[in-house]
């Protein structure tokens, strides 16, 4: 999948495409339904298949002081979209200029003049443009006038009859239920980032860890998880089993949440490399220990439990 960080001057091979438009935070099964509908239309008409999204998430632009809430920052989102076999993704920078662009101007300049879209697909509740006044009706009207098609995809429900949503995924993660979150995402939730240098205390007690900061990610429930992790090299990921603590490490009076990952039977140097970590199951809440011996004993027990889960 090719990624463009602009909408002007795209190669001709990517014009006249069917494009799914949305924020798509999480790329859950509801989002996938929208994106795959665009794929079906593209295949039927033998034209390119694309996704358009926004970075940063508009909510981060309008409310920069709120806690991080994202399920899929851009790198994670691109991984998830690429698995659907989309041809390309256009990432528009959501800044003051884009936020103040009138909805009609967005359609005319971005979609028609520059992308020459063949067909646009979005969720039924998609809004855009200054004041979020642009909607499916406007896209349909302007499409009829300009000659491009438009499809609005209705809410997509899970087997229980409840609509898939990013809000539900966030709730499950905050409640320590990554398994149900994975059911909505159709894959395990993952946190990815560059491995940073920590206190290296884990190495001294026999459980070396790779530390990944949450940055733009939502903070799931603090505690210990059975995980799978892979180096993000651009190739097909090779997943390794492990255990991780997500939290502030109260035993050592830390305050910033960090994901500390211990991989089983793994000896490579990971510092400054990019790691993807899937949260598979929640083992226990984070807790404070009286000393290193108690901590070591609990980590050993956590490792046993994680191996059982991942088996």
Domain of residue 140, CATH code: 3.40.50.620
Residue 175 lies in a domain: no
Q: How many domains are there within the chain? A: 2
| pLDDT (0 to 100) of residue 295 | 87
In angstroms, rounded to a whole number, what is the distance separating the alpha carbons of residues 225 and 205?
19
Whether residues 139 and 273 share a domain: the answer is no
Whether residues 202 and 145 share a domain: the answer is no
Whether residues 134 and 211 share a domain: the answer is no
Domain end (from 126, 153, 180)? 153
Whether residues 207 and 281 share a domain: the answer is yes
Residue 166 lies in a domain: no
Whether residues 262 and 219 share a domain: the answer is yes
Catalytic residue, chosen from 145, 190, 260, 308, is 260
Beta bridge partners of 228: 241, 278
Q: Does 55 participate in catalysis according to the annotation? A: no
Residue 146 lies in a domain: yes
Residue 91 lies in a domain: yes
pLDDT tens digits, the chain, 311 residues: what are they? 999 999 999 999 999 999 999 999 999 999 999 999 999 999 999 999 999 999 999 999 999 888 899 999 999 999 999 999 999 999 999 999 999 999 999 999 999 999 999 999 999 999 999 999 999 999 999 999 999 999 999 999 999 999 999 999 999 999 999 999 999 999 999 999 999 766 555 555 678 889 999 989 999 999 999 999 999 887 888 999 999 999 986 555 566 899 999 999 888 778 788 999 999 999 999 988 877 888 889 999 999 999 999 99
Structural domain of 52: 2-153
| pLDDT (0 to 100) of residue 74 | 95
Whether residues 276 and 227 share a domain: the answer is yes
Whether residues 137 and 241 share a domain: the answer is no
Tell me the CATH number at 222: 2.40.30.30
pTM: 0.91
Domain end (from 129, 153, 177)? 153
Whether residues 207 and 290 share a domain: the answer is yes
């Amino acid at each position: 999948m090719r990624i463009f960080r602009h909408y002007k001057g795209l190669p001709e091979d990517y014009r006249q495409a069917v494009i799914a438009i949305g924020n798509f935070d999480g790329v859950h099964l509801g989002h996938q339904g929208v994106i795959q509908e665009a794929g079906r239309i593209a295949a039927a008409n033998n034209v390119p298949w694309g996704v358009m999204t926004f970075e940063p998430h508009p909510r981060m632009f309008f409310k920069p002081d709120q806690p991080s809430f994202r399920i899929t920052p851009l790198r994670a989102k691109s991984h998830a979209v690429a698995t659907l076999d989309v041809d390309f993704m256009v990432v528009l920078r959501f800044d003051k200029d884009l936020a103040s662009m009138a909805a009609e101007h967005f359609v005319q300049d971005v979609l028609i003049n520059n992308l020459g879209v063949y067909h646009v697909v979005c969720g039924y509740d998609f809004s855009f443009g200054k004041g979020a006044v642009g909607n499916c009706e406007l896209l349909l009207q302007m499409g009829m006038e300009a000659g491009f098609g438009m499809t609005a995809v209705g809410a997509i429900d899970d087997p229980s009859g409840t609509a898939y949503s990013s809000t539900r995924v966030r709730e499950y993660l905050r409640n320590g239920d990554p398994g149900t979150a994975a059911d909505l995402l159709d894959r395990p939730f993952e946190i990815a980032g560059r491995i940073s240098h920590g206190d290296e205390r884990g190495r001294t007690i026999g459980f070396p860890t790779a530390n990944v900061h949450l940055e733009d990610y939502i903070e799931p429930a603090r505690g210990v998880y059975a995980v799978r992790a892979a180096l993000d090299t651009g190739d097909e990921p090779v997943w390794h089993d492990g255990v991780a603590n997500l939290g502030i490490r109260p035993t050592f009076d830390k305050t910033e949440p960090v994901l500390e990952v211990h991989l089983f039977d793994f000896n490579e140097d990971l510092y400054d490399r990019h790691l993807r970590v899937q949260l598979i199951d929640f083992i226990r809440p984070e807790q404070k220990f009286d000393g290193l011996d108690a901590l070591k004993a609990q980590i050993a027990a956590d490792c046993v439990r994680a191996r059982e889960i991942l088996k």
